[in-house]
Amino acid sequence: MKIVHVFHHYWPVVGGLENVVKALAEGMVKLGHEVHIVASRYGAEGRPREEVVNGVHVHRVRSVRLGYPDLTYPLEYPIDLLKSADVVHGHSQNSLFTVKIIEKAKELGVKTMVHFMAVDALSDHPNALVRLLGPLYGRWTVLRAIRSSDVRLVKSLRDKEMLKSRYGIDAIYVPDGVDEELLNMPNKAEEFKAKYGINDPFVVYIGRLHRLKGIDVLIKAISIATREEPTLTAVIVGPGDQRPYRELARLGVGRNVVFTGFVSEEVKISALDASTALVLPSISNYVEAFSLAITEAWARGKPVVASAVGEVPYRVRHMVNGLLVPPRNPNALADAILQLIRDRKLGERLGAEGRERVTTWGKVIDELLKLYAS
């Protein structure tokens, strides 16, 4: 089968959705399929426009960007590639690049699929201009993606509910997965502690350093929790500008906050293994379309403490497989962290329940291939 995946970024750009597309593409190649990626050149300016990476054919087209990554507009279309595809699978209708490429594929008579993410999720954005204009843009892209797609997919039960109630669309639920080996690899906690000189107890954040991710809320929560647990540490793992958060940490808990920057997958998993819990303090629906970090934490048997935004409350059930807290509430977040530090058996129970909900990339890919062929 000849499969084309579409998103405005691809490797070497690293991020949640970028990693998902890479996992799907490389997994399908291993099963013998011919897989292509159509992406922009942003973040890959030093790479060839056409190349093969781990068996995946990458096509980077000329594009223009209007400030935000989602506002990337293709200036050319790989017509011959699209016409010859068995299926074109677009990722995120919020990406203008994805919508335009899918529209072109539909015009050419090719079977199209779109994974809808963070549907109508910009109304709580902290930027007033985005709150004003974002919902209009979001609805416009949803409608265009609906018209241009033969099959509509979601990875979040929130988005499935939104598409049904607001647009009358029955979408197919296909969540993201993890590598099978993540469920079985040996515990690497001691390796992480030795590498960074960190001891118990600590919680870990994994993701981009972005203001919508609520890292400032986590640092404030640590400043509250350390009044009762002075040795408590927050380990912040991920790429991005550390400066504003380091400045905030210096105001009171500089020694209790550790920034690792971007790390390898092995180091990331060792951080989860060594931690008391994964903490996701996001403040906006938009940035939590599907948290792969939650799945990875559960795969390692770790509990999750997360803000009740986006898809999170549809997956994380309070006191069943994690703890939910209100967004932008450092006091509530501090209380939840302290609860898990003091009751390790509770954390073990929540993590074990979460592990039962984990699916693998192999199962996800099998389901997608059936949909492609049907």
Domains of the chain: 2-177+359-373 (3.40.50.2000), 180-355 (3.40.50.2000)
Q: For residue 282, give every residue at least 6 positions away whose Cβ sits within 8 Å of its Cβ, in sequence order, or none.
A: 212, 213, 214, 288, 306, 307, 309, 310, 312, 327
Give the C-alpha separation, 102 to 111, whole Å. Answer: 10
Measured CA to CA in angstroms, residue 172 lies from 156, 175, 371 at distances of 10, 10, 10
pLDDT tens for 80-137 read 999 999 999 999 999 999 999 999 999 999 999 999 999 998 777 777 777 777 789 9
185 — pLDDT class (breaks 50, 70, 90): very high
Q: What is the pTM of this model?
A: 0.88
**pLDDT for res 36:** 98
**pLDDT for res 129:** 73
50 — pLDDT class (breaks 50, 70, 90): very high
Residue 202 near residue 278 (C-beta atoms within 8 A): no
Average pLDDT over residues 266-285: 96
Residue 225 near residue 252 (C-beta atoms within 8 A): no
pLDDT tens for 235-249 read 999 999 999 999 988
14 — pLDDT class (breaks 50, 70, 90): confident
169 — pLDDT class (breaks 50, 70, 90): very high
Residue 47, pLDDT > 80, answer yes
Q: For the chain, what is the mean pLDDT?
A: 95
Residue 196, pLDDT > 80, answer yes
**pLDDT for res 266:** 94
Question: Among candidates 327, 344, 284, 336, which has minimal Cα distance to 305?
Answer: 336
**pLDDT for res 128:** 77
Average pLDDT over residues 338-366: 96
**pLDDT for res 364:** 98
**pLDDT for res 253:** 85
**pLDDT for res 288:** 87
Amino acid, single-letter form, for residue 214: G
Residue 207 near residue 238 (C-beta atoms within 8 A): yes
DSSP string of 11-76, one letter each residue: TTS-SHHHHHHHHHHHHHHHTT-EEEEEEESTT-TTS-SEEEETTEEEEEE-EEE-SSGGGEEES-
**pLDDT for res 168:** 97
Amino acid, single-letter form, for residue 173: Y
Q: Is the model more confident about 124 or about 222?
A: 222
**pLDDT for res 251:** 76
